[in-house]
Amino acid sequence: MDYKIKEIANSICQISNHALEEIENLLRPKTIGKGTVFIREGQGIQLEYFLLEGICKSYLISPEGEEVTISFFTSKSILSPYTTRVNNQRSLLNFRALTDVHLASMDAAAFEQLMIENLEIRNFGNVVLRKELALKVDKEIGLAALTAKERLLAFRERYPSLENQIPHTDIASYLGITNVSLSRLRKDLSR
């Protein structure tokens, strides 16, 4: 199937071709247009996703009704499955395509069964989960202990070039500031 799947999987951890094939057998490609919300909070879902091409964000609606960006996903990554499928298969988050997006989806229950049967795939799933948690802890400490300027610099390190590809409003809410403040910081850092 798609060579990109192998690339994504190996960016997570080493995995044999055999195990990879088992995963690939479950995958179905899917294309989604820019701006589309393809997972909704509270929605019953039973799919896991590989992001082959494009950019997405996960987000929640704040008490004030604004979209708060939780994470960004760039080409060749995995759309954090456990965060997505928490609570009896109901998603905790919304996902929106920020560009045209090419996905490969698979049935979550079938993948879970694979994890039980196959030690290698179980390990793979666990590593995905652990990396996701590590990112969350990083973001948490960033929001709690760094200034907005430092958070912007950290964002640029982690997502080089994203700043020029997506609306700044989305980045600002990821950083926990307003888009006006983001604009100020950008100006400040450019001198």
Partner DNA sequence: CAATCGCATTAACAAATGATAAAAAGGAGC
Partner DNA sequence: GCTCCTTTTTATCATTTGTTAATGCGATTG
Q: Does 191 bind DNA (CB under 7 A)?
A: no
Task: Indicate the residue among 83 and 169 with the shorter CB distance to DNA.
Answer: 169
Q: How far is the CB of 3 from a second copy (least distance, A)?
A: 28
Q: How many CB atoms lie within 10 A of CB 98?
A: 21
Q: What does 21-60 look like in DSSP terms, one character per residue?
A: HHHHTT-EEEEE-TT-EEE-TT-B--EEEEEEES-EEEEE
Residues 103-142 as x/- pattern, contact with a second copy by CB under 8 A: -------------x-----x------xx--xx-xx-xxx-
Q: How far is 69 from 63, CA to CA, in rounded Å?
A: 14
* 182, 145 Cβ separation under 8 angstroms: no
What gap in Å lies between CA 105 and CA 50, rounded to an integer? 6
Task: Tell the residue number behind the tokens 């690339």, with chain if given.
Answer: 7
The verdict on 183 binding DNA (CB under 7 A) reads yes
In the bound state with a second copy, the residue whose beta carbon lies nearer, of 104 and 170, is 170
Q: State in angstroms the smallest separation of the CB of 150 from a second copy.
A: 8
**Interacting residue with DNA among 46, 75, 83, 179 (CB under 7 A):** 179
Choose the contact partner of 161 out of DNA, a second copy, none; CB within 5 to 8 A by kind: none
Asked if 74 and 53 count as a contact pair (C-beta separation under 8 A), the reply is: no
Exactly one of 82, 118, 162, 169 binds a second copy (CB under 8 A); that residue is 82
The single residue listed with the structure tokens 């006006």 is 180
State the Cα–Cα distance between residues 65 and 18, nearest whole angstrom.
46
Q: Is residue 134 exposed (0-12), middle (13-18) or buried (19+ Cβ within 10 Å)?
A: exposed
62 binds, among a second copy, DNA, none (CB under 5 to 8 A by kind): a second copy
43, 143, 160, 186: which one binds a second copy (CB under 8 A)? 143
Nearer to DNA, 78 or 148 (CB): 148
Binding site for a second copy (CB under 8 A): 60, 62-64, 66, 68-70, 82-83, 86-87, 92-93, 116, 122, 129-130, 133-134, 136-137, 139-141, 143-146, 173-176
